[in-house]
């Protein structure tokens, strides 16, 4: 019973295992952030991206961005059409880099899966090998999608064309805003 006697102690006093009272020693307060890790804080040694953001999701995140606002703001800064062409070339270049990152990620991932398939096959782990083959099939399917997007982008069509269209629309809206502000609002 002396083991749990600390539960019966009064005034915050601490009891030893032998049941004797050690006096009025207060328990030191420990800040909450030392004990509980908050969800919105990431430890500094962790990377800020998950593996899903390295695969095809990284490419789709890039493709789904709306470049209209960027085009609009760029037109207000420099309304020259050569600026438009240079920025479109820059966006295409960024798309190519993103595609290369995704392809490299899947090449490495498939190579790693192949190693695990070979190793687990030698160990006779049939169910694990089947699961790995499913993962490999999914990765290969993603690679085919990435290659299709890459081909469409090189031909200036498909989902990659949305980047150029939204940027161009924004740039033209910026040009129209400049004209409207400087010419159309003048009274003469």
pLDDT tens, residue by residue, 21-41: 445 555 556 555 544 445 444
**Hey, how many other C-beta atoms are within 10 angstroms of the C-beta on 174?**
23
Q: Pick 40 or 102 by higher pLDDT.
A: 102
CB 58 within 8 A of CB 146: no
Average pLDDT over the chain, rounded to an integer: 80
The maximal CA–CA distance of the chain, rounded, in angstroms, is: 99
Q: Is the pLDDT of residue 95 over 80?
A: yes
- Cα dist from 163 to 25, 36, 83, 95, 103, whole Å: 67, 43, 16, 9, 20
Q: Contact, 77 vs 178, CB < 8 A?
A: no
Instruction: Indicate whether this model's pTM tops 0.75.
Output: no
Which of these ranges, 36-40, 48-52, 85-89, has the smallest mean pLDDT? 48-52
Asked if residue 70 has pLDDT above 90, the reply is yes
Please determine, for residue 98, whether its predicted confidence score (pLDDT) is greater than 70. yes
Q: Are 160 and 153 in contact (CB under 8 A)?
A: yes
Q: Is the pLDDT score of 12 beyond 60?
A: no
Dist CA 153 CA 159 (whole Å)? 8
Mean pLDDT throughout 11-23?
48
Quote the pLDDT of residue 26: 55
The pLDDT of residue 140 is 97
Q: Which residues touch 114 (CB under 8 Å, ≥6 apart)?
A: 136
Give the per-residue pLDDT at 145.
Answer: 96
pLDDT score of 14 more than 50: no
| Least confidently predicted of 170-174, 177-181, 183-187 | 183-187
Q: Which residues have a Cβ under 8 Å from the Cβ of 55 and sit 6 or more positions away?
A: 102, 105, 106, 109, 139, 142
Higher pLDDT, 29 or 76: 76
Q: Which two tokens stand for residue 170?
A: 């924004």
Compute the average pLDDT of residues 112-126. 95
21 phi and psi, to 5 degrees?
A: -85, 130
Res 127 pLDDT > 60: yes
The pLDDT of residue 47 is 36
Torsion of CA 66, 70, 76, 81, to 10 degrees: -90
**8 A C-beta contact, residue 96 and residue 49:** no
Tell me the mean pLDDT in the region 93-103.
Answer: 96
Tokens for 113?
Answer: 């899966």
């Amino acid at each position: 019973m002396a083991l749990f006697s600390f539960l019966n102690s009064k005034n915050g006093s601490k009891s030893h295992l032998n049941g004797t009272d050690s006096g009025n020693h207060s328990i030191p307060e420990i800040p909450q952030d030392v004990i509980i890790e908050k969800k919105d804080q990431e430890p500094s040694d962790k990377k800020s991206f998950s593996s899903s953001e390295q695969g095809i999701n990284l490419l789709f995140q890039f493709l789904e961005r709306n470049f209209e606002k960027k085009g609009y703001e760029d037109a207000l800064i420099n309304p020259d059409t050569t600026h438009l062409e240079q920025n479109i070339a820059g966006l295409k270049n960024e798309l190519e880099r993103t595609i290369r990152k995704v392809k490299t990620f899947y090449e490495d991932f498939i190579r790693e899966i192949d190693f695990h398939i070979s190793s687990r096959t030698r160990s006779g782990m049939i169910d694990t090998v089947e699961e790995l083959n499913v993962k490999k099939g999914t990765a290969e399917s993603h690679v085919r999608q990435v290659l299709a997007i890459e081909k469409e982008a090189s031909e200036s069509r498909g989902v990659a064309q949305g980047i150029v269209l939204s940027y161009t629309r924004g740039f033209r809206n910026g040009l129209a805003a400049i004209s409207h502000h400087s010419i159309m609002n003048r009274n003469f």
